[in-house]
């Protein structure tokens, strides 16, 4: 009986969480649809959440491309298919690694920042202050971050894709003597432009996940400083898990024909 | 009979297993300063949140100017909240905005006033609470008393019908407390409106209250003018007013 109760309670908690996040996304979409967007705040958030993430995206993308090339280039040359390395690196990066890794590092940075900021605002009654002034926290706080990251995450992903391919190209050249021309020719012949675009569609979904989960966790913070820490950790962990799940689902939907 | 600005009718609230209010009823008189007193954790601040819809009762009804607000949707509460100022215990100013931007926020979001008009009104309102030349400073650069006054300014800048003050003088020295108490009275006179003040500070309450309600164990156990409260035969009220350890209030 107690196990059943636990399952029931957990199910109710999950449904409440999922409903809350869906409601937050729905309300945000309504404000965006009515163009009730705070433009200056959106630019400010695009800088804070997007532009300020470029170094971390650069480093993770660079080393991911480099290690991928390191693992595949020598063996590919040994099997006489060194001319395919560029294509393999670019193909995997644009479709899977680029969007997912960029989203994961941005979730760690921006998602945590959103949850911590909103959590602190809850604890210091600033969210209630907004409501008491007749202002919606969704419009004032969530919508600018959502619009900012929907714009910035695909840009960061393209940036990460390019850096990853360049890193792979460098290592392939140094480590397996694959020329830059051969590498780039392989990239051009193997990677359809449509795959890059579909990879960016993933980024749009990941941006919504990062902001929605970070905002929901932050706005539902309970308790003091410990509550803020819990909300922040919860936001990062939940976002990353959802990014992996949605990445699989989106790959299945977007790349099914190619597969 | 004085006119009623707001009414709590048989309101019950619980936080988990803890019953905070049980069939509580209270009328807030229009144009008067009503102070709510009671032990820490008795639910005084919850009453303020009920009055502007930040908190919904588990049972019972809340009326503001005759309109039931306890069943309104969030979006329908916006117009009600624009007529009610709220001064929070720790001011709840937005850290990322300057004092001027904090005070101007409701005007920028809800009116079509020009930037110059808003700036002028912000300066005047800050002056009216005794704050001059602080518009460009951030909340973290001001003292506790100044932050509270900036919170007052933000609460009253839209000329609300009623201002709710949550522990406006807690943690402040007697001089600032005296100044803030006078400020609340002046603001009520200026707005010609209603004020509801939650406070433990009996000195302030005696100075400003038209009516006092005492909350104890989820119900209003005493209500009246300051003199009526002082003469109350209720031993709980007397123990609270005297600050005595001895009496029926469980410590």
Among the listed residues A132, A134, A148, A129, the one whose alpha carbon sits nearest the alpha carbon of residue A215: A148
CA A209 to chain centre: 7
Residue B180 · residue B172 · CB < 8 Å: yes
- Beta pairing class for B219-224 and B67-68: unpaired
Q: How far apart are CA A215 and CA B220, in angstroms?
A: 38
Q: Phi, psi (5° rounding) for residue A184?
A: -70, -35
Which pLDDT score is estimated for A83? 85
Q: Which residues contact B128 (CB under 8 A, 6 or more apart)?
A: B153, B186, B187, B190
Tell whether B90 is within 8 A of chain A (Cβ): yes
Give B66-108 pLDDT, tens digit per residue: 999 999 998 899 989 999 999 999 999 999 999 999 999 999 9
Determine which helix (DSSP H) or strand (DSSP E) holds B7, and give its type and residue range. strand B4-15
Among the listed residues B221, B236, B239, B229, the one whose alpha carbon sits nearest the alpha carbon of residue B205: B229
**Whether A134 and B49 lie within 8 Å, measured CB to CB:** no
Residue A11 CB-density burial (10 A; 0-12 exposed, 13-18 middle, 19+ buried):
exposed
Question: In the predicted model, is pLDDT for residue B2 greater than 80?
Answer: no
Contacts of A132 in chain B (CB under 8 A): 52, 54, 81, 84-86, 88
pLDDT band of A1, cuts 50, 70, 90: low
Q: Shortest CB distance from A132 goes to which of B74, B81, B89?
A: B81
Task: Please state which of the ranges A73-82, A127-136, A240-249 shows the lowest mean pLDDT.
Answer: A73-82
Tell whether B52 is within 8 A of chain A (Cβ): yes
The length of chain B is: 251
- In chain B, CATH 3.40.50.300 covers 1-83+161-251
Task: State the nearest Cα–Cα gap between B151 and chain A, in angstroms.
Answer: 10
Q: How far apart are CA B85 and CA A134, in angstroms?
A: 10
**Whether A128 and B95 lie within 8 Å, measured CB to CB:** no
Cβ neighbours around B246 below 10 Å, total? 8
When the pLDDT of each residue in chain B is averaged and rounded to a whole number, the result is: 92
Q: Classify domain B1-83+161-251 at the CATH superfamily level.
A: P-loop containing nucleotide triphosphate hydrolases (3.40.50.300)
**Whether A129 and B93 lie within 8 Å, measured CB to CB:** yes
**Whether B54 and A132 lie within 8 Å, measured CB to CB:** yes
Q: Shortest CB distance from B92 goes to which of A129, A134, A135?
A: A129
**Whether A133 and B88 lie within 8 Å, measured CB to CB:** no
Query: Starting at the edge strand that comes first in sequence, how are the strands of the sheet with B194-198 ordered?
Result: B84-87, B162-166, B194-198, B33-38, B211-216, B219-224
Q: Shortest CB distance from A124 goes to which of B79, B85, B90?
A: B90
Both tokens of B43, joined, read 């639910």
pLDDT band of A251, cuts 50, 70, 90: very high
Q: Phi, psi (5° rounding) for residue A256?
A: -60, -40
ipTM entry: 0.89
**Whether A135 and B105 lie within 8 Å, measured CB to CB:** yes
Give B165-206 pLDDT, tens digit per residue: 999 988 788 888 888 899 899 888 888 889 999 998 999 999
CB-hemisphere CA count at 13 Å for B147? 19
- Beta pairing class for B33-38 and B194-198: parallel
For residue B111, give the DSSP letter: -
Q: How far apart are CA A186 and CA B30, in angstroms?
A: 79
Question: In the predicted model, is pLDDT for residue B214 greater than 80?
Answer: yes
């Amino acid at each position: 009986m107690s196990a059943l109760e636990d399952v029931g309670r957990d199910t109710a908690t999950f449904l409440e969480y999922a409903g809350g996040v869906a409601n937050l996304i729905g309300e945000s979409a309504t404000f965006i649809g009515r163009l009730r967007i705070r433009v200056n705040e959106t630019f400010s958030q695009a800088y804070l959440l997007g532009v300020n993430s470029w170094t971390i995206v650069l480093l993770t993308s660079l080393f991911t491309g480099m290690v991928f090339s390191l693992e595949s280039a020598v063996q590919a040359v040994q099997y006489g298919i060194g001319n395919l390395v560029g294509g393999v690196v670019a193909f995997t990066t644009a479709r899977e690694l680029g969007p997912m890794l960029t989203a994961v590092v941005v979730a760690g940075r921006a998602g945590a920042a959103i949850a911590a900021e909103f959590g602190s605002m809850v604890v210091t009654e600033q969210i209630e202050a907004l409501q008491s002034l007749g202002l919606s926290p969704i419009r004032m706080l969530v919508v600018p971050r959502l619009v900012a990251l929907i714009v910035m995450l695909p840009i960061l992903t393209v940036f990460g894709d390019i850096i990853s391919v360049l890193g792979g190209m460098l290592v392939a050249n140094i480590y397996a003597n694959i020329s830059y021309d051969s590498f780039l020719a392989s990239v051009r012949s193997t990677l359809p432009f449509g795959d890059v675009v579909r990879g960016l569609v993933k980024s749009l979904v990941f941006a919504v996940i990062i902001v929605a989960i970070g905002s929901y966790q932050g706005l539902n913070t309970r308790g003091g400083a410990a509550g803020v820490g819990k909300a922040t950790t919860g936001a990062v962990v939940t976002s990353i898990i959802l990014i992996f799940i949605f990445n699989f689902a989106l790959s299945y939907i977007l790349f099914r024909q190619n597969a | 009979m004085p006119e009623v600005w707001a009414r709590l009718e048989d309101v019950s609230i619980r936080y988990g297993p803890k019953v905070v209010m049980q069939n509580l009823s209270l009328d807030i008189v229009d144009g008067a300063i009503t102070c709510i007193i009671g032990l820490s954790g008795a639910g005084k601040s919850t009453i303020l949140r009920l009055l502007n819809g930040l908190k919904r009762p588990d049972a019972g009804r809340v009326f503001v100017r005759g309109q039931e607000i306890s069943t309104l949707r969030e979006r329908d509460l916006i117009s009600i909240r624009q007529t009610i100022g709220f001064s929070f215990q720790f001011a709840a100013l937005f850290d990322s905005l300057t004092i001027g931007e904090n005070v101007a926020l409701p005007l920028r979001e809800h009116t079509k006033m020009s930037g110059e008009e808003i700036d002028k009104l912000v300066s005047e309102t800050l002056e009216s609470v005794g704050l001059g030349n602080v518009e460009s400073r951030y909340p973290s650069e001001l003292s506790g008393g100044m932050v509270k006054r900036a919170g007052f300014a933000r609460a009253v800048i839209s000329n609300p019908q009623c201002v709710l003050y949550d522990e406006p003088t807690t943690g402040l020295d007697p001089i600032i407390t005296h100044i803030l108490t006078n400020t609340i009275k002046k603001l009520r006179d200026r707005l010609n409106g209603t004020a509801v003040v939650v406070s433990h500070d009996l000195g302030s309450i005696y100075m400003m209250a038209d009516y006092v309600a005492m909350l104890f164990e989820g119900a209003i156990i005493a209500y009246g003018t300051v003199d009526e409260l002082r003469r109350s035969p209720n031993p709980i009220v007397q123990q609270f007013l005297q600050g005595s350890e001895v009496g029926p209030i469980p410590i």
